[in-house]
Amino acid sequence: MPDHSGPTADATGQSGGPPQTRRRGPLIFAWGVVIVVAGLVGYGAWGQAQRRTAALETLRQQENMVPHVRTAAVKVTDAPRMLNLPGNIEAFDSAIIYARATGYIAKRNVDIGSKVHAGDVLAVIAAPDLDQQLAQARAQLVQMQAAIGQAHANMELAQRTNARTVQMVQQGWQSKQQGDTDRFTYVAQDAALKVAEANYKAQKAEVSRLEKLTGFEKVVAPFNGVISQRQIDVGSLVTANVSSGTALFSIVRSDVLRIQVYVPQDTALDIKDGQSAEVRVPEMPNRVFHGTVARNATALQPGTRTLLTEVDVNNSNETLLPGLYCTVQLAVPRRHPVITVPSQAVIFNKDGLSAAVDEDGMVRLRHLDVLADDGAEVEVRAGLNPTDRIILNPPIGVTDGMHVSSTNTPEEARAE
């Protein structure tokens, strides 16, 4: 039988080659993959090292960098502080006129908006019951006066009778009993005369009271002003009562207005009567009304720690109306000069308000005790010195001791 263990031939009649040749291809491929992976790893490590070096260089540059900042000298001022406060315009005088006589309105002479003068008749109240009471009281007064005359005549008769009886008792023509009777009769008649006179005075006072009440049938204006409210009309029933009387009219005097403002405690001690004030109304943006501080409450309100202050404004041309909202600007004198800095120099963080001061190229952070802030400038009570130069718009992350290079503001550069 033929031997088949020898090398087999392929279709072309050639042998498959030795086993070493068949294993060489995969080995070369594996080494190629290892070389490529090693190259990629090396390239990545080299790139990482380059980025780390660049980051360290950037960090070193940042640490060694000296920021460039603008500085300005702080301002010291003793000019009056301009204080703007909200205010409420009120009439200088205002009153609600109530009925003092019970009746009905027989005549009404005014309406809302009517200008009146002191003493003008605003309305007439018809009060027939009150008129009858006055007539009755006057008649009773006449009766009281007649009673006085009668009591006076009886007293004189008793006096003369007693005088004659005294003489007759002394001469023995009358008994002592009769003398005592005539004497006490005279005393009684004298007392009756005094009672009659007292009743007359009381009735006279009642007549005077009723006359005054009937005088209130004419409702008159208490002062010059304008009728701002009317609560009655002809035919309305009105009652005179201390607690529940009928309100007839409201009148205001607006030729002079009083403006109430509440001054905070930090400036209350510097407000004095006679200081000038400027009043502005939002609806009149181009108008400024000049007034004068006329009076204040002389005591701060415990709840708000503010001082009620009134500013008087001449309103003879009736431009302003009571009840308007306004702003009042007061020029408050300063007791001591204060330091002011631009608001862009103030740093606000968890530690409060502070400012960065340039001291020979080194930053010094100063905590600020702020007195006032109007948005553009900040008044500092403590924390800065008059010779300090502050850094405007300090860089983010500024720290105490940081080195900086500075230039003056354009305004200071032009001044130089």
**Which region holds residue 401: left if phi is over 0, alpha if psi is between -120 and 50, else beta?**
left
Query: What average pLDDT does the structure give for the chain?
Result: 84
Chain segment 125-179, per-residue pLDDT in tens: 999 888 888 899 999 999 999 999 988 898 888 888 878 788 787 777 777 888 7
Q: Mean pLDDT throughout 76-92?
A: 91
pLDDT band at 315 (very low <50, low <70, confident <90, very high): very high
Q: Mean pLDDT throughout 77-99?
A: 92
Greatest Cα-to-Cα distance within the chain, rounded to the nearest angstrom:
216
Beta bridge partners of 293: 311
Provide the CB-side half-sphere exposure for 336 (13 A, CA): 7
Q: Mean pLDDT throughout 324-336?
A: 91
DSSP string, 156-168: HHHHHHHHHHHHH
Q: Mean pLDDT throughout 353-364?
A: 86
| Res 21 pLDDT > 70 | no
**Which region holds residue 235: left if phi is over 0, alpha if psi is between -120 and 50, else beta?**
left
pLDDT band at 14 (very low <50, low <70, confident <90, very high): very low
Q: Which three-class secondary structure string do you get for 262-304? A: EEEHHHHCCCCCCCEEEEEECCEEEEEEEEEEEEEEEEEECCC
Q: pLDDT value at position 30?
A: 73
Q: Mean pLDDT throughout 250-266?
A: 94
Place of tokens 């003493």: 119
Q: pLDDT value at position 66?
A: 67
Provide the CB-side half-sphere exposure for 244 (13 A, CA): 0
Place of tokens 């003068």: 117
Per-residue buried b or exposed e for 339-364, using 16+ beta carbons within 10 Å of the residue's own CB: bbbbeebbbeeeeebbbbbbeeeebe
* Closest listed residue to residue 92, CA positions, set 255, 250, 291, 281: 255
Q: Mean pLDDT throughout 359-385?
A: 85
Q: pLDDT value at position 5?
A: 46
For 234, phi and psi rounded to 5 degrees? -60, 130
The two tokens of residue 248 are 């007839």
How much of the chain, in percent, has pLDDT values that exceed 70? 90
CA distances from 81 to 271, 291, 328, 336, 389 (A): 11, 17, 13, 11, 23
The two tokens of residue 159 are 């006096």
* DSSP 8-state code for residue 97: E
CA distances from 32 to 35, 45, 74, 97, 152 (A): 5, 20, 74, 113, 156
Q: pLDDT value at position 1?
A: 39
Report the C-alpha gap between 247 and 123 in whole angstroms: 12
Q: Mean pLDDT throughout 269-293?
A: 93
Q: Mean pLDDT throughout 358-373?
A: 85
| Res 299 pLDDT > 70 | yes
Q: pLDDT value at position 4?
A: 45
Q: Is 127 exposed, middle or buried (0-12, 13-18, 19+ CB in 10 A)?
A: buried
| Res 13 pLDDT > 70 | no
Report the C-alpha gap between 93 and 58 in whole angstroms: 76
Strand (E) or helix (H) holding 56: helix 19-64
Contact 81, 268 (CB under 8 A): no
Report the C-alpha gap between 384 and 289 in whole angstroms: 38
Q: pLDDT value at position 18?
A: 55
Report helix, strand or coil for 28. helix
Contact 83, 263 (CB under 8 A): yes
Is the pLDDT higher at 345 or at 311?
A: 311
Report the C-alpha gap between 84 and 313 in whole angstroms: 17
Q: pLDDT value at position 215?
A: 87
Q: pLDDT value at position 380?
A: 87
| Res 94 pLDDT > 60 | yes
| Res 202 pLDDT > 70 | yes
Q: What angle do CA 359, 360, 366 make, to 5 degrees?
A: 10
| Res 359 pLDDT > 60 | yes
Which pTM was predicted?
A: 0.63
